[in-house]
Amino acid sequence: MTLTITTLYGLLGAALVGLGLYGLLVQPHPLRKILAFNVLGGGLFLVFGVVARRGAGAGFPADPVPQAFVITAIVVALAGTALAVAIMLRLFAETGQVTLRPEPPPSDNGKGDDS
Amino acid sequence: MSSVTAGPEGLLLVLAIFGPILGIPLMLVLGGRHAERIGLVLLPLGLGVAVAIAATVIRRGDALEYALGGWAPPLGVLLRADGLSVAMLLTTAIVIGAAGLYARSDFGVPRGAPEARAPLAFWALLLTVWAGLNAAFVASDLFTLFVALELLTFGAVPLVSLSGRAETLTAALRYLVFALLGSALFLLGVALLYGSYGTLDIALLAERVRVEPAAQVAAALMTVGLLAKTALFPLHIWLPAAHAGAPAAASAVLSGLVVKGSFVLIIRVWVDALPGVATPAAAQVLAALGAAAILVGSVLALRQARLKMLVAYSTVAQIGYLFLAFPLASATQIGTAAWTGGILQAVSHALAKASMFLAAGLIAKAIGHDRIADMGGIGRVLPTTLFAFGLAGFSLMGLPPSGGFVAKWLLLRAAIEGAQWWWALVILSGGILTGAYLFRVLSRALAQSGKTPALLGPVDRRGELLVLGLALLSVLVGLLPLAALSIVHIGRAL
């Protein structure tokens, strides 16, 4: 079996997805998690690109529908990243540190949290 | 493919999504002072749209469809409201409406006071969540569902950290990480399905899909991704922390509705788009997770010191019931009853839980804390709130007559008739545990001895009426005749 260009890109996409997934699950620092999410997203978009290439109609370089999906998905991923970074920066401004690792017990003082 | 209606009723589906969305730029332009006014106009309009969609679907006895721009699938985007959509659209409009009205006392801008950011943010996010939910309920292709789910997430995450305190920001960030992981897995499944079958339209996929590894891997990825967003055990750990510091109205929406959005998507994937791909063993695994959620969530709820956290862990448990429907529905004769039970559980839990979170908010506002241990005698000062809390609890426990009772009864009957008695044991023990943690609150609150707690201010009468209304609705759902409940199956191949 010869390694076609689409198979190669498909494998690359899968590898990126794996790397990103590993990072997202293992890295404790939120910024690393956000970066891992973007690596995972990059792999995903590559897989969509491969799908577009494989499904190309006669005379077309690629199927445009998955390409349209990728554009929307990139916008969504950008929005998610921006939101995550914004929350992270705000958290840093509030506490001077950013981590998700130590589970601070939910404040048990029971003060009116509904203000 | 059924015929596509391009009639005027179809535009209702467009309105359901774009009504709330159009309110957001209007709020941003006119500013926070008018955000509440715009919201209060949109709430009844949105409810009207949901009722009109429901009336149309019931009158036609078939799903309502609308192809955007007249482009039919596979190229165009089709909006489709079936019985499941109708039930969820109505529930959403009611709960969002109650949360919005309740929030007037928390996020109102008093006349003459300087404008604050919180009201604008709250109302804009509430409308975002509403639009996302409605889109998730009427979308009929997997990619539009993905976009709807993201809209929902991006609206729900900032609602958690509206107060801006450090612990709420951590909770929001953790929720967002789970949600992003979930959406990435879902999208990966979408890519695999498009690569294998060349379409994402749910009806076309159902025709083309074959039981093969690509479809099974896609289904597994999408399910895990959606479970992270639905907060099913063991992916529930973000949920209680998210509720701890969220405003009461936000908690009501988050617990009652947002997690149901991804639950509906799981039904769409398993039943509508990929019928037969999930094996009975997979359905048993899903229900086993649900059973674990019921037991673990209930036990953790029993141990909480704060009322709000108790209600939050109760959500973890009640979500578990939703997933018991999956193995029970695969046995064909009882399938319809199990689905009716599952969907009714989603509806009655949304109403009851919204009522309980708002009641917990009222209590915290009235006495300045929500420690269960120090709540002795609160029944004497807030009788209406506590009555509503108990009434909603009735529905959660599954006591007749209530929506929760009918839901759990249908599941129980399906479990026994389908010879899957072990799920019946879970349902029954879950009911007992629910009774135990609610008794812990009510026995404390209704204690006769001890001094009457001092109120910090006048009781929020409007809030009490809202809480009572939601609790009554969650009970009244159970009084509907079974024939009326079967509308959830309109336009669905069950």
Binary contact (A80, B169; C-beta < 8 A): no
DSSP state of A102: S
Torsion sign across C-alpha atoms A33, A37, A40, A46: negative
| Complex ipTM | 0.86
Task: Give dist(CA B476, CA B478) in Å, integer.
Answer: 5
Question: Each residue of A19-34: pLDDT tens digit?
Answer: 999 999 888 888 999 9
Give the nearest partner residue to B180 out of A37, A104, A111, using CB atoms: A37
Please compute the mean of the pLDDT values over residues B381-390 and round it to a whole number: 88
| A61 has pLDDT over 50 | yes
A34: closest CA of chain B, how far (Å): 8
Binary contact (B308, A113; C-beta < 8 A): yes
Question: Each residue of B134-144: pLDDT tens digit?
Answer: 999 999 899 99
| B380 has pLDDT over 70 | yes
Task: Give dist(CA B235, CA B174) in Å, integer.
Answer: 12
Q: Name the residue ranges covered by the structural domains of chain B.
A: 285-494
3-class secondary structure for chain B? CCCCCCCHHHHHHHHHHHHHHHHHHHHHHHCHHHHHHHHHHHHHHHHHHHHHHHHHHHHHCCCEEEEHHHCCCCCCCEEEECHHHHHHHHHHHHHHHHHHHHHHHHHCCCCCCCCCHHHHHHHHHHHHHHHHHHHHHHECEHHHHHHHHHHHHHHHHHHHCCCCCHHHHHHHHHHHHHHHHHHHHHHHHHHHHHHHHCCCEHHHHHHHCCCCHHHHHHHHHHHHHHHHHHCCCCCCCHHHHHHHCCCHHHHHHHHHHHHHHHHHHHHHHHHHHCCCCCCHHHHHHHHHHHHHHHHHHHHHHHCCCEHHHHHHHHHHHHHHHHHHHHHHHHCHHHHHHHHHHHHHHHHHHHHHHHHHHHHHHHHHHHHCECEHHHCCCHHHHCHHHHHHHHHHHHHHHCCCCCHHHHHHHHHHHHHHHCCCHHHHHHHHHHHHHHHHHHHHHHHHHCCCCCCCCCCCCCCCHHHHHHHHHHHHHHHHHHHCCHHHHHHHHCCCCC
B367 to chain A: closest CA residue: A112
Please compute the mean of the pLDDT values over residues B397-421 and round it to a whole number: 84
The residue among B2, B187, B188 whose CA lies nearest residue B78 is B2
pLDDT on residue B493: 66
pLDDT on residue B112: 67
pLDDT band at A1 (very low <50, low <70, confident <90, very high): low
Average pLDDT of chain B is 86
Binary contact (A88, B309; C-beta < 8 A): no
Binary contact (B177, A33; C-beta < 8 A): yes
Assign A111 to helix, strand or coil.
strand
Looking up tokens 């079974």, which residue turns up?
B482
Please compute the mean of the pLDDT values over residues B242-255 and round it to a whole number: 89
A42 to chain B: closest CA residue: B184
DSSP state of A57: P
Binary contact (B106, A107; C-beta < 8 A): no
Q: Which residues of A touch B385 (CB under 8 A)?
A: none
B380: number of Cβ within 10 Å: 16
pLDDT band at A37 (very low <50, low <70, confident <90, very high): very high
| A105 has pLDDT over 50 | no
Q: Which two tokens stand for residue B177?
A: 């990480």
Distance of CA B459 to the CA centre of its chain: 28
Question: Each residue of B27-39: pLDDT tens digit?
Answer: 888 877 788 888 8
pLDDT band at B97 (very low <50, low <70, confident <90, very high): very high
Task: Give dist(CA B253, CA B101) in Å, integer.
Answer: 12
The residue among B349, B394, B139, B338 whose CA lies nearest residue B257 is B349
Please compute the mean of the pLDDT values over residues B272-283 and round it to a whole number: 83
- The CA distances from residue B429 to A98, B349, B352, B399, in Å, are 41, 18, 20, 13
From first CA to last CA, the distance across chain B in angstroms is: 16
What is the second-level CATH architecture of the domain A5-95?
A: Orthogonal Bundle (1.10)
- Residue pair B196/B169 in contact by the 8 Å Cβ criterion: no
Give the nearest partner residue to A83 out of B75, B154, B240, using CB atoms: B154
- The CA distances from residue B299 to B295, B304, B313, B355, in Å, are 6, 9, 9, 22
Please compute the mean of the pLDDT values over residues B167-171 and round it to a whole number: 88
A94 to chain B: closest CA residue: B166
Question: Each residue of B422-431: pLDDT tens digit?
Answer: 888 898 899 8
Question: Each residue of B193-228: pLDDT tens digit?
Answer: 998 888 888 888 888 888 888 899 999 999 999 999
pLDDT on residue B366: 85
Task: Give dist(CA B170, CA B473) in Å, integer.
Answer: 35
pLDDT band at A35 (very low <50, low <70, confident <90, very high): very high
pLDDT on residue B151: 93
| A52 has pLDDT over 60 | yes
DSSP state of A4: -
| B1 has pLDDT over 60 | no
Q: Name the residue ranges covered by the structural domains of chain A.
A: 5-95
Binary contact (A104, B167; C-beta < 8 A): yes
Those of residues 35-54 in A touching chain B at CB distance below 8 A are: 37, 40-41, 44, 47-48, 50-51, 54
Paired with B66 in beta bridges are B79
pLDDT on residue B48: 92
Task: Give dist(CA B440, CA B460) in Å, integer.
Answer: 25
| B63 has pLDDT over 60 | yes
DSSP state of A99: -
Binary contact (B195, A100; C-beta < 8 A): no
- Residue pair B140/B202 in contact by the 8 Å Cβ criterion: yes
